[in-house]
Amino acid sequence: MTKSHGQESTVRGYPVSILVHEMKRTTSKGRAKKTHGKIRRREFATSVGAAVGLSLLPKALMGARSRIEYIRKTIPPISVPTYGGRRYWDRVPDTLDLAERARLAINALTRLADPEADYKCWFTLQVNRKPMVWSHEWSDYVGQQTKFMEALTLLRTVTGDTREPEAELGIIKAAAHMLGEDGLYYQPIHGRPWALMESRGRPVTTGTAFSTGLGAGEIKRVDQNPTVMAVGQFSDAYSCGRMPLAMTLWYERDKNPFWPRF
């Protein structure tokens, strides 16, 4: 896998570079070659999980974790407890194994988390690009990550699988930083240049996102609202409605007194 730097551009005043992770296919002699043309389904699944990614990050943050400005600067100690129970081998009918399917889902959810963006999950996979790319956009949190957090906790309970614990802990800590004192779930803008961008690079507007008090029916770019940009945070009803489901499961699992506060 190699990284190639794309063209320079700006997003709402941020200088950004497109980092493309190029998919490679390894030959029988150990040499890598570019995957032009067709690719087999198995190779596609393996390559996507291991070798592709696209992110839009300020130049100063390239190669380092994004300095995201959360609404909550400090959080209490948070940990992911071990799962109890016992393990044993047994013979079972050769039918659908729900636990095994759950393990596959755990692999997908944890591998989607991007450690360079505080474990925000990639949202869009562009399969028609050569090389294929993952991209971050505003839906990372609006409609996606809160569902994933709930599902991942339940999948752990089903299987007892503990793979990729650092990804799960990173996801939970980031969520804790996004909880405001008023109980709402706030999504940061500063440090996330894609926070108000749709998957095709178009800016989010009040017609497609949420009301910013600019007048009923008006279609305005949210990133041009001075109040939103000055505060550097926004909250949406969907994520606020989903977040308590994940926090309830976390509290049942770790009994951390931080979660019932919200």
Three-state DSSP at 133 gives strand
Per-residue pLDDT at 102 exceeds 80: yes
Q: How many residues does the chain have?
A: 262
Q: Token match 């992911």: residue? A: 80
pTM for this structure? 0.69
CA dist 123 and 103 (Å) reads 21
Query: Could you tell me what percent of the chain has a pLDDT over 70?
Result: 69
Per-residue pLDDT at 10 exceeds 90: no
Neighbouring residues of 50: CB distance < 8 A, sequence distance ≥ 6:
1
- Encoded tokens for 65: 């974790």
Where are the extended beta strands (E) located within 2-93? 2-11, 14-22, 24-26, 32-34, 54-58
CA dist 155 and 157 (Å) reads 5
- Are 109 and 151 in contact by the 8 Å Cβ rule? The answer is yes
Nearest to 118 by CA among 180, 57, 65: 65
> Lowest mean pLDDT: which of 54-63, 67-76, 85-94, 153-162?
54-63
- Are 24 and 33 in contact by the 8 Å Cβ rule? The answer is yes
pLDDT band at 185 (very low <50, low <70, confident <90, very high): very high
DSSP for residue 156: H
pLDDT of residue 176: 96
